[in-house]
């Protein structure tokens, strides 16, 4: 059975590269091409494993990274008058670096504009009037976690697969059972409702079977897309926690 899920969180290969740069705290002006290429290819491989829709631009960027990596590994020499001198060429990373810097500027500007739009949406005008302030009315502070992107979810999936591979299977023969994503989504929602709290992301994967792991992961992505669940991470590279998003009518 093939599953194909299209997630709006994909914003392009430059977005993925920025995610990797931020995650590994890499200097954008001195990108270690070998490391970035390895991590980028791992994400592409994971996307293909999950049969997510991967646009051709991701594959073009993969080819670009491999080309830059090969240029970095093979310096160019020029033979002149029986002497070998190193040719001063432009850094093969320069074009990619400039594209990333420009993309980051626009991305940061878009975030600021979105904040301004949200602030403006909360502004209402009314005629002047006397307002009585009740000091006892205070809003409860909320936990400020990191925004979870699709790339964070893919990283968690990679860690999950490594954990499962390190465990020995409990049985040698496995009966294949195709589980519809809709059914698995309902199971996860019911499980989180009954738990009534934040549950570790890895606790949603109790079985060793790869088919069950993939379907569960795709079900989590769909529930995130439909705003049915909340996925939180307190700090970068920390464990993910999942909870059911309570509706007002349910409270």
Mean pLDDT of 39-57: 83
Is the pLDDT at 10 greater than 80? The verdict is: no
Between 97 and 79, where is the model more confident? 97
For the sheet with 241-244, list strands across it.
199-200, 241-244, 229-232
pLDDT at 231 over 80: yes
How does pLDDT run across 171-223, given as a tens digit for each residue? 444 445 577 899 999 999 999 999 988 999 999 998 888 888 999 999 999 99
pLDDT tens-place string over residues 28-42: 999 999 999 999 999
* 74: confidence class by pLDDT, cuts 50, 70, 90: confident
Question: Is it the case that residue 94 has pLDDT exceeding 70?
Answer: yes
Exposure of 151 in the CB half-sphere (CA atoms within 13 A): 24
| Residue scoring higher pLDDT (53 or 160) | 160
């Amino acid at each position: 059975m093939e599953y194909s899920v299209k997630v709006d969180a994909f914003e392009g290969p430059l977005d993925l590269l920025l995610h990797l740069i931020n995650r590994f705290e890499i200097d954008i002006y001195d990108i270690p091409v070998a490391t970035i290429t390895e991590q980028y290819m791992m994400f592409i491989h994971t996307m293909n494993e999950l049969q997510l829709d991967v646009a051709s631009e991701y594959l073009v960027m993969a080819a670009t990274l491999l080309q830059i990596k090969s240029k970095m590994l093979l310096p160019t020499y020029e033979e002149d008058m029986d002497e070998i001198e190193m040719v001063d060429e432009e850094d093969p990373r320069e074009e990619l670096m400039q594209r990333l810097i420009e993309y980051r500027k626009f991305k940061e500007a878009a975030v600021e504009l979105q904040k301004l739009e949200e602030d403006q949406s909360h502004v209402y005008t009314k005629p002047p009037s006397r307002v009585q302030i009740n000091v006892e009315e205070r809003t409860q502070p909320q936990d400020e976690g990191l925004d979870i992107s699709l790339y964070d979810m893919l990283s968690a999936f990679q860690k999950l697969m490594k954990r499962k591979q390190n465990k020995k299977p409990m049985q040698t023969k496995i009966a294949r059972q195709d589980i519809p994503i809709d059914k698995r989504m309902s199971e996860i929602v019911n499980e989180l409702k009954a738990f009534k709290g934040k549950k570790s992301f890895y606790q949603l994967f109790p079985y060793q079977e790869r088919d069950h792991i993939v379907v569960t992961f795709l079900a989590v992505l769909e529930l995130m897309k439909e705003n049915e669940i909340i996925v939180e991470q307190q700090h970068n590279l920390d464990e993910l926690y999942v909870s059911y998003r309570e509706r007002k009518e349910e409270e």
